């Protein structure tokens, strides 16, 4: 019953929030205008700036911001207990994350689709522009390296997902040509594509899982290289040819998967199979040694499901260049974040009640019909949950593996689908493909965003070569791929570098959210608008990640600083290791944040009611005459 109440309460809460708080932001704070000139029309080039129907851009935006973030974060955080994770996801997505995404989108719309980094240069100072761009560059490099690893791990651990994930690409290209060249509607082709996609899931699950022999080729390295080649192509191609239609297919896949999961949750909860109270602890009392404190690390571990700095890059980097009119912003910016919060709630349910429903094993036979007929449950309730999160191999917090946390959602979600008659093997394939497709969407969107950032850095530093989209994309892919290829430690295989960066990902990402909130606050401050609703989460999102970074760098048990101190004190001979890398990147990130905050405080003291300089007029040859920045 508790599981059912949580699912229903979250759904109702998000609907109420959209039609009350979201509408208040729309009308009273930002004053969205349906006839205002927007970048997709001002600067239309049919490559990056493309007016798009709000349902299509919603699909692109949602799948881009979601990725595996609302899956991996909650899957890790529930080991502190499901209640803290649930509260942060629900309240954070409504009052923090959705405000952050919505505000970033509106500000970019009113500044010709500029990223938050560019807007910061005019709202705060030219120095702030370069500082923000450097933070964006560092954050996106980490995102690309981490998500490349996540997808490679999914392909390695769930070979049944490979065929379906790649088959979406040619389907999306066909849809893009159909919609753009022949002015065709995407609804029917996308439904046909979805049927083909699920057919490929069935083929991959039962007949043709694509796996690589680890003795002849490192699967992580192989898939990572292939993924970054794909990212390069996806970033330089027009958005209508691949990104938009592919994301539209993925959004429909998500809607269907969410409906199936919700129905599975209701059936499992109604029949007593899923019980949060018995499956996992509300607040965990026993944790592995070395576990960081829940405060502030809960707010760093769960990012995309509650608030994520990466979202401001999507809102201001790609989405603002495609929104057809200002009034679509609430639906796209605020609504997509609430849907992502709903996905994170389902992940928490799957990783606690779903896993606690039992580990269902196949009989030792290759015949799928016999397998389905001889399912057996080995563990149920909290015992099943503990066996996954606290197995014999998990002696310390550092033993938690990224792949296992993703596996918790795949396994728990498949258990829910099994309750409504979907065979377990097929259900595992469905959830694995869902995760892989989402991660791929984030990966190629982040590549395009990094291209924009590199081009803006080139413009700021007056390096003309970086303005070329092919060169900028190549540099983005090369740096991210090189970092992803690093071995975790000496003697370890290549292709696991994302694991080195994982501790930095959460803090860097959330610091970016705090800085984006600062831009929103200053934008409203200059216009004599209320700022309290953004200032409170701004302070929270600046303090929490900074606290987490400092704890990671200087805690006495495993801080990144201590190997350096031992070296200075005449300890072991100097040897570059992962902690040195993390320490220096962490210090650089923290220094950039402090500098940005100082710049912001200086501006706040003297700009109340004082508008920034307007953007220069657009060239006469532009399709539409210029408009100001608001």
254 or 617: which leads in pLDDT: 617
The arithmetic mean of pLDDT across residues 446-467, rounded, is 89
**Residue 320: predicted pLDDT:** 96
- Can you tell me whether residue 492 is helix, strand or coil? coil
- Residue 584 has a pLDDT of 83
Give the integer Cα–Cα distance in Å for 258 and 430. 11
Give dist(CA 436, CA 310) in Å, integer.
18
State both tokens at 442. 């984030």
Neighbouring C-beta atoms of residue 391, cutoff 10 Å: 11
The C-alpha angle 117, 67, 353, rounded to 5 degrees, equals 135
Contact 440, 102 (CB under 8 A): no
N-to-C CA span, the chain:
50
Q: List, for residues 167-221, the tens digit of each pLDDT value.
A: 999 999 999 898 888 877 777 888 899 999 999 999 999 998 998 888 888 888 8
Question: Angle at Cα 543 formed by Cα 27 and Cα 26, nearest 5°?
Answer: 5
Q: What is the dihedral of CA 276, 434, 57, 182, to 10 degrees?
A: -150
162: how many CB neighbours lie within 10 A of its CB?
Answer: 23
d(CA 22, CA 19): 6
Looking at the DSSP bridge assignments, the partners of residue 361 are 376
pLDDT at 399: 55
pLDDT above 60 for 278: yes
Residue 608, φ and ψ in degrees, nearest 5: -60, 120
Position with higher pLDDT, 82 vs 220: 82
List, in sequence order, the alpha helices (H) in 110-125: 116-123
- Comparing CA positions, the residue from 434, 429, 403 lying closest to residue 209 is 429
CA gap 181, 440 in Å, rounded = 26
Give Cα separations from 442 to 140, 171, 238 (angstroms).
11, 18, 17
Inter-residue contact 562 to 318 (CB < 8 Å): no
Closest CA to 282 of 80, 48, 90: 80
Distance CA 332, CA 107 (A): 14
Q: Which two tokens stand for residue 213?
A: 């022999």
- CA–CA dist 144, 133 (Å, integer): 16
Dihedrals phi, psi of 52, to nearest 5 degrees: -135, 140
The residues near 535 (Cβ < 8 Å, ≥ 6 apart) are 517, 521
DSSP letters for 33-75: -TTS--HHHHT--SSS---B-HHHHHHHHHHHHHTTHHHHHHH
Q: What is the dihedral of CA 309, 314, 320, 323, to 10 degrees?
A: -120
Both tokens of residue 418? 């099994």
- Torsion from C-alpha of 15, 17, 20, 23, nearest 10 degrees: -90
- Backbone φ and ψ for 67, nearest 5 degrees, come out as 55, -140
Residue found by looking up tokens 């401050």 in the block: 525
Work out whether strand 360-361 and strand 376-377 pair parallel, antiparallel, or are unpaired: antiparallel
Q: Which helix (H) or strand (E) holds 377?
A: strand 376-377
Question: Does 271 have pLDDT greater than 70?
Answer: yes
Percentage helix, strand, coil for the chain under 3-state DSSP, each rounded to 5: 70, 0, 30
Conformation bin of residue 491: beta by default, left when phi > 0, alpha when psi is -120 to 50: left
Least confident of 60-64, 445-449, 500-504: 500-504
Separation CA 70–CA 494 (nearest Å) = 27
8 Å CB contact between 150 and 165? no
DSSP string, 340-357: HHHHHHHHHHIIIIIHHT
In this predicted structure, the answer to whether residue 103 has a pLDDT above a threshold of 80 is: yes
The more confidently predicted of residues 493 and 173 is: 173
Max CA pair span of the chain: 74
Which string of b and e fits 47-59 if b means at least 16 CB within 10 Å? ebbbbbbbebbbb
Chain segment 324-339, per-residue pLDDT in tens: 999 999 999 999 999 9
Band (pLDDT 50/70/90 cuts) for residue 400 is low
Q: Which of 31-35, 164-168, 490-494 has the lowest mean pLDDT?
A: 490-494
Distance CA 35, CA 128 (A): 32
* DSSP bridge partners of 377: 360
- How confident is the model over 286-301, as pLDDT tens digits? 777 777 889 999 999 8
Only one residue has tokens 């890059």, namely: 313
Choose between 584 and 630: higher pLDDT: 584
Of 450, 325, 347, 336, the closest CA to residue 51 belongs to 325
Determine contact, residues 466/133, Cβ cutoff 8 Å.
no
- Of 309, 311, 316, the closest CA to residue 118 belongs to 316
Tell me how many degrees the CA angle 20-21-25 measures, rounded to the nearest 5. 120
Stated pTM of the model: 0.86
Rounded CA separation 76/226 (Å): 28
Beta bridge partners of 360: 377
> Please, what is the average pLDDT of the chain?
83
Per-residue pLDDT of 127-140, as tens digits, reads 888 888 888 888 88
Are the beta carbons of 352 and 82 closer than 8 angstroms? yes
409 or 384, higher pLDDT? 409
């Amino acid at each position: 019953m508790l599981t059912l109440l949580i699912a229903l309460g979250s759904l109702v809460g998000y609907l109420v929030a959209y039609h009350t708080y979201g509408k208040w932001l729309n009308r009273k704070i930002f004053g969205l205008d349906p006839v205002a000139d927007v970048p997709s029309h001002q600067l239309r080039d049919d490559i990056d700036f493309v007016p798009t129907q709000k349902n299509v851009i919603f699909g692109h935006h949602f799948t881009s911001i979601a990725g595996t973030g609302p899956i991996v974060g909650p899957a890790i955080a529930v080991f502190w207990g499901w209640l803290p994770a649930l509260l942060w996801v629900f309240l954070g997505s409504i009052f923090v994350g959705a405000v952050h995404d919505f505000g970033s989108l509106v500000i970019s719309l009113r500044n010709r689709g500029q990223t938050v980094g560019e807007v910061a240069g005019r709202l705060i100072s030219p120095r702030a522009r370069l500082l923000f761009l450097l933070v964006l560059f560092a954050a996106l490099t980490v995102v690309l390296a981490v998500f490349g690893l996540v997808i490679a791990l999914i392909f390695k651990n769930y070979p049944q997902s490979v065929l379906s994930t790649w088959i979406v690409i040619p389907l999306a290209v066909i849809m893009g040509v159909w919609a753009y060249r022949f002015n065709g509607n995407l609804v029917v082709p996308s439904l046909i594509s979805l049927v083909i996609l699920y057919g490929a899931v069935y083929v991959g699950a039962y007949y043709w899982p694509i796996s690589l022999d680890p003795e002849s080729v490192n699967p992580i390295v192989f898939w990572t290289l292939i993924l970054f080649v794909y990212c390069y192509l996806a970033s330089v191609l027009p958005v209508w040819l691949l990104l938009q239609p592919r994301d539209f297919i993925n959004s429909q896949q998500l809607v269907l998967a969410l409906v199936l999961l919700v129905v599975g949750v209701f059936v499992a909860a109604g029949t007593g199979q899923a019980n949060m109270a018995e499956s996992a602890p509300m607040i965990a009392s026993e944790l592995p040694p070395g576990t960081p404190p829940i405060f502030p690390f809960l707010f760093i571990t769960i990012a995309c499901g509650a608030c994520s700095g990466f979202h401001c890059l999507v809102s201001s980097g790609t989405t603002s260049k495609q929104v057809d009119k200002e009034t679509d912003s609430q639906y796209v910016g605020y609504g997509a974040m609430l849907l992502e919060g709903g996905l994170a709630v389902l992940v928490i349910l799957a990783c606690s009640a779903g896993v606690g429903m039992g580990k269902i094993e196949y009989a030792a036979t290759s015949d799928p019909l016999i397998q389905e007929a001889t399912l057996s449950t080995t563990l149920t309730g909290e015992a099943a949950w503990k066996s996954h999160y606290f197995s014999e191999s998990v002696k310390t917090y550092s033993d938690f593996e990224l792949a296992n946390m993703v596996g918790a959602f795949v396994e728990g979600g498949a258990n829910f689908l099994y309750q409504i008659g979907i065979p377990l093997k097929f259900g595992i394939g469905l959830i694995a493909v869902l995760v892989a497709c989402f991660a791929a969407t984030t990966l190629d969107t982040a590549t395009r965003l990094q291209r924009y950032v590199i081009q803006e850095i080139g413009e700021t530093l007056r390096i003309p070569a970086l303005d070329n989209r092919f060169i900028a994309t190549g540099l983005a892919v090369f740096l991210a791929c090189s970092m992803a290829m690093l071995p975790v430690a000496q003697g370890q295989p290549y292709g696991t570098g994302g694991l080195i960066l994982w501790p930095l990902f959460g803090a860097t990402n959330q610091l970016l959210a705090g800085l984006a909130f600062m831009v929103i606050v200053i934008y409203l401050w200059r216009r004599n608008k209320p700022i309290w609703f953004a200032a409170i989460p701004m302070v929270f999102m600046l303090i929490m990640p900074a606290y987490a970074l400092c704890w990671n760098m200087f805690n006495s048990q495993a801080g990144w600083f201590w190997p350096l101190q031992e070296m200075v004190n005449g300890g072991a001979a100097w040897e570059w290791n992962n902690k040195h890398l993390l320490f220096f990147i962490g210090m650089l990130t923290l220094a950039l944040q402090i500098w940005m905050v100082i710049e912001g405080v200086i501006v706040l003291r003297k700009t109340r009611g004082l508008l920034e300089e307007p953007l220069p007029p657009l060239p006469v040859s532009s399709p539409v005459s210029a408009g100001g920045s608001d």
